[in-house]
Amino acid sequence: MSQKKIGFLLLDRFSMLSFTSALEPLEVANQVAEESLYEYFTATVDGEKIRASTGVTTVPDFSIAELIASKAIDTLIVVGGSEVPELTNMLVARLQRCAAGGVSLGGVASGVVALAKAGFYDGQSCSVQREFSTVLQEERPRVAVTLKPFTTGGQRFSCAGGCAMLELMINRIADEQGQELAQSVAEALMFESSMMEQSVHLPDPVKLSQPKLAEIIALMETNLEEPLSLTELAGYVGISRRHLERIFKKHLDCTPLKYYIKLRLLAARQLLKQTSRPIIDVAAACGFVSAAHFSKCYKAHMHITPKAERQGKAVPLEAAVATRVGDIPAALLYNSFHSAQMRF
């Protein structure tokens, strides 16, 4: 078995869960093998201490420049959190030199998005958290965005974050040190593989027992800019419109229209927060035919206007933000959905 050297570039407010999920399999592999198969180092952009999303301060081993210069690393993992940082031109240049030198480069959480925006996943697949997917697909059309927990292959890999990093690292151990050791590591960590796409909308039991419902939601998610009618949705999956309405009410306790508008508003929020596109463009991208109606509908659901959302203003404490699909006023839902379908 060969020793591997792994560097972790920690970005501000990085995910501690993602970071420790990457470290633990490496340490367990060393313990099980009773030899130092993995040596790992931490770095920040400037070598200064950095704060994780949990508030814990971490003192790195090196700055990224020192790490690259002093350690012949095999792999570099960019660890982000829930906010996407902008990589400086100097940092991008250093990462490019690493990649050109044969270093395997990957990211986790918002680290994946930062790398993708810098062009490191062009022409390749990368796994991101659902809330980043819409923005990334628009900004980097050459990136094949996937909602799988992680992707591997070649000199690039990616992980959406959290405990999925545990599985990614066990897979890398299998590739680098053999399946037997990887299995021992998985058993020591009491880990069972589950390569499932992220599902924040449907509980797994419902997803398994109601495949038609899952298909309809997938259609909704891929048709936000030009919403499909309920008749069209029902027809695509081979059921009646009435049956479509029944299964939404039974399993999600809302109407299909309310569910659809919730998806569109959530997508709009990400575009407002993560891009500088004009509000009218955001409205159109999410199926609204006028900025005025979009603003009215957005405020009714989020208790904040699109303009204020973009400016980062806080939602008033007395205004509890609607968290369920059914919390959106019915009149706004109907008007929004009906207006969007006038284009057909």
Give tens-digit pLDDT for 197-227.
Answer: 444 345 444 554 678 888 898 888 878 888 8
Residue 196 within a domain: no
Residues 46 and 170 in one domain: yes
Q: How confident is the model at residue 97 (pLDDT cuts 50, 70, 90)?
A: very high
Residues 63 and 145 in one domain: yes
Q: What's the whole-model pTM score?
A: 0.61
Residue 195 within a domain: no
Residues facing 58 on adjacent strands: 50
Residues 300 and 270 in one domain: yes
User: What's the total number of domains in the chain?
Assistant: 2
Tokens of 62: 């090196």
Residue 8 scores a pLDDT above 60: yes
Residue 17 within a domain: yes
Residues 127 and 241 in one domain: no
Residue 323 scores a pLDDT above 60: no
Locus of tokens 């890999």: 157
Residues 183 and 215 in one domain: no
Residues 46 and 175 in one domain: yes
Residues 102 and 239 in one domain: no
Q: How confident is the model at residue 314 (pLDDT cuts 50, 70, 90)?
A: low
Residues 183 and 250 in one domain: no
Residues 251 and 118 in one domain: no
* Bridging pattern class, strands 62-63 and 144-146: unpaired
Residues 175 and 297 in one domain: no
Lowest mean pLDDT across 55-64, 204-213, 306-315: 204-213
Residue 32 within a domain: yes
**Three-class HEC string of 238-302:** CCCHHHHHHHHHHHHCCCHHHHHHHHHHHHHHHHHHHCCCCHHHHHHHCCCCCHHHHHHHHHHHH
Report the CATH number that the domain containing residue 300 is assigned in CATH.
1.10.10.60
Lowest mean pLDDT across 113-117, 119-123, 323-327: 323-327
Give tens-digit pLDDT for 259-275.
Answer: 898 889 988 888 887 77
Residue 299 scores a pLDDT above 60: yes
Q: Which of 125, 157, 188 is where one domain is finished? A: 188
Average pLDDT, the chain: 84
107-116, 135-144, 313-322 — which one is most confidently predicted on average? 107-116
Residue 75 within a domain: yes
Tell me, what's the pLDDT at 11?
96
Residues 46 and 161 in one domain: yes
Parent domain of 45: 4-188
Report the CATH number that the domain containing residue 88 is assigned in CATH.
3.40.50.880
Residues 172 and 270 in one domain: no
What secondary structure letter does DSSP report for 140? -
**Mean pLDDT within 33-62:** 94
Residue 197 within a domain: no
How long a stretch of residues is the chain?
Answer: 344
Residue 194 within a domain: no
Residue 21 scores a pLDDT above 50: yes
Give tens-digit pLDDT for 124-163.
Answer: 999 998 878 888 888 898 998 888 889 987 799 999 988 8
